[in-house]
Every structure is written in structure tokens, then in C-alpha cells.
Amino acid sequence: MRGVRACAAALLCFPGLAAAAEVEVEVDGIEPGPGSVYVALCQGGLSEASCREGQDAPARGPRHRFVFEGIDPGSYAVAAFQDLNGNRRLDRTPLGLPLEPYAFSGDTGRTGRPDFARAAFTLRESGAAIRVRLARALPRR
């Protein structure tokens, strides 16, 4: 009984530990081959500075599942891209259009600039499962 009380007291002293959630992101539309797929959880915006939680994996199959653990509940968006040439960046045209496959949660950014409000989802303590599909802005060269 004393152990249960100690555990409950620890959770009350560290509420962030009890509130951490898991975000599962499934990325479809991967072009198997060289390079990697990058996925980021963004909070407050879609700029690189707002996307601090990230993972990557080799582009081995048409889909990959990423799991982010210990994430505080709140409003987030997912940004993903496939780095076809291995330079660890999303290559763009001089006009800013992506040259490599990319995706955002909420299916935003396909016909214009991506918008955090449209891409955002609410993460609760129970977690979230998000699916994004990579696509190209321009035809393959």
C-alpha cells in the first residue's frame, strides 16, 4: 500500500510525466529507393524552428510507421518529406515549390502554402494516430 501512495505522490509532483502521450504517424506514398523519409511534429507553426520533434527512416517500402513518445498534450501538425538525393533537406525550385515528395497533416499544402491551423490536430493524453500521404508538387523529372 505504501508503494501505491508513493507512486501516486510522484505522479502529483510531476504532472508532465503522467500527461505524456504517443503520436503514431503512418506515412504512405514513399518511393522506395535511396534517401530517407523525414517526419516532424510541429507546434505553433510549420517553420523549421516550430518542428522540434523529428524522426527519419530509410525509404525501403511504400509506407512507414513512426512513433513519437512522451509528447505533451496540445495542438500539433505533422510535416513529412522524402529526401530523394540524401542531402537531408527538402529541395525546392527558385519559386519555392518542393522538388521532392512531401505531406502535411490535414492534407494541407497541396494547392498553396501550408497552413498550421488547417494541418493542426489536438493531441490528448490518450494519444493520436495520423496518416499522411507523400506527393510531388511537380512531375518527376
Query: Does any domain span residue 97?
Result: yes
Contact in structure between 120 and 15 (CB atoms under 8 Å): no
Quick one: pLDDT at residue 118? Answer: 96
Query: Does any domain span residue 2?
Result: no
Tally of residues, the chain: 141
Contact in structure between 99 and 109 (CB atoms under 8 Å): no
Query: Does any domain span residue 11?
Result: no
SS3 (DSSP) at 112: coil
Average pLDDT over residues 101-113: 91
Query: Does any domain span residue 105?
Result: yes
Given pLDDT bands bounded at 50, 70 and 90, which one contains residue 3?
low
Query: Does any domain span residue 35?
Result: yes
State the pTM of this model.
0.84
Query: Range of 94's domain?
Result: 20-133
Contact in structure between 116 and 74 (CB atoms under 8 Å): no
pLDDT tens per residue, range 55-91: 999 999 999 999 999 999 999 999 999 999 999 999 9
Q: What CATH code is carried by the domain that includes residue 123?
A: 2.60.40
Domain count, the chain: 1
**How open is the CA angle 130-136-141, to the nearest 5 degrees?**
155
Average pLDDT over residues 40-44: 98
- Identify the residue whose cell numbers are 504532472: 15
